[in-house]
């Protein structure tokens, strides 16, 4: 067993330094900048992303049907009561997701990168499939907190531990098992499309550890490891590119997950795309 695999199995996360060089990081920044520049605000609702308001996405088909699309989600502090942006659009976004990994050539190249493939081979994944990708902005001053959570709340697989998140630091990121699930309601009568079920867990805040990540490095996060990020109150952005990977072998993807394959789109194999 490799040292990386041992650390990952022991701690549930592992920091891997200097995976992407400065040129690759700038390429990702340039690609997301072009996506934002080309985005026509009139063609997208001002969908606000929040981890505090659990009903925010309950009736949001724009969010629900985003597995094979590039969707735009805004910070709460960037949209006024009339639904208008209070800052330029490049400073208003919380994140862009969830199909960057195959719809944009730059993010496809970075996701299905031999360096990422090698990491998943080291932790023993045999048939890894990329289920979603996001570019997270953590805007200066208004970048919202992500409350403590485990990824298996939102992306449920069986066995439950066959899911790993990859968090790639585009900017410097300095210190500044549950029955709780986020699922489809399968409602067809006009009611809520999504809901949380189970009892929301609480965690001992004193046990969280700060894990600063340098630009170009990444952190692997097990799907059952509790993690969070605080609001960005600094004057610098904390951009990151993230993907979630499922071990498909002997694994079932829940039909209740908010994120689903479509007739024309299937989760791509990390080793083959």
Whether residue 68 is contained in a domain is answered as: yes
Residues with Cβ within 8 Å of residue 230, at least 6 apart in sequence? 145, 176
For residue 39, the enclosing domain spans 3-253
Whether residue 138 is contained in a domain is answered as: yes
The total number of structural domains in the chain stands at 1
**pLDDT tens per residue across all 273 residues of the chain:** 689 999 999 998 999 999 999 999 999 999 999 999 999 988 888 877 554 444 454 447 888 899 999 999 988 778 888 878 888 999 889 899 999 999 999 999 999 999 999 999 999 999 999 999 999 998 776 655 566 778 888 899 999 999 999 999 998 866 544 566 667 778 777 777 767 667 666 666 666 677 788 999 999 999 888 766 766 777 888 899 999 999 999 999 999 999 999 999 999 999 996
Whether residue 35 is contained in a domain is answered as: yes
pTM metric for this prediction = 0.84
Whether residue 136 is contained in a domain is answered as: yes
Whether residue 271 is contained in a domain is answered as: no
Whether residue 147 is contained in a domain is answered as: yes
Q: How far from each other are the two terminal CA atoms of the chain, in whole angstroms?
A: 26
Whether residue 29 is contained in a domain is answered as: yes
Region of 216 on the Ramachandran plot (φ > 0 left; ψ -120 to 50 alpha; else beta): left
Whether residue 164 is contained in a domain is answered as: yes
For residue 204, what is the domain's CATH number? 2.60.120.620
């Amino acid at each position: 067993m490799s040292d990386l695999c041992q650390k990952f199995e022991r701690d549930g996360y592992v920091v891997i330094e200097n995976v992407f060089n400065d040129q690759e990081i700038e390429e990702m920044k340039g690609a997301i900048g072009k996506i934002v520049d080309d985005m026509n605000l009139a063609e997208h609702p001002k969908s606000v992303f929040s981890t505090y308001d659990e009903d925010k996405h309950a009736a949001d088909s724009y969010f629900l049907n985003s597995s094979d699309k590039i969707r735009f989600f805004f910070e709460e502090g960037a949209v006024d009561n009339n639904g208008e942006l209070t800052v330029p659009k490049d400073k208003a976004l919380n994140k862009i997701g969830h199909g960057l990994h195959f719809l944009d050539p730059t993010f496809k190249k970075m996701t299905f990168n031999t360096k990422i493939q090698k990491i998943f081979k080291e932790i023993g994944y045999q048939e890894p499939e990329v289920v979603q990708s996001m570019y997270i902005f953590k805007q200066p001053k208004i970048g919202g907190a992500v409350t403590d959570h485990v990824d298996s709340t939102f992306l449920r697989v069986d066995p439950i531990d066959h899911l790993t998140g990859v968090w790639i630091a585009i900017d410097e990121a300095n210190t500044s098992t549950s029955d709780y699930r986020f699922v489809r309601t399968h409602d067809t009568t006009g009611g809520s499309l999504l809901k949380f079920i189970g009892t929301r867990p609480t965690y001992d805040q004193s046990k969280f550890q700060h894990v600063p990540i340098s630009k170009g490095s990444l952190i692997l996060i097990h799907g059952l490891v509790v993690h969070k990020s605080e609001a960005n109150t600094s004057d610098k952005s904390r951009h990151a590119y993230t993907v979630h990977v499922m071990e498909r072998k002997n694994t079932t993807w829940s039909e209740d997950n908010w994120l689903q394959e479509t007739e024309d789109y299937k989760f791509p194999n990390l080793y083959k795309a």
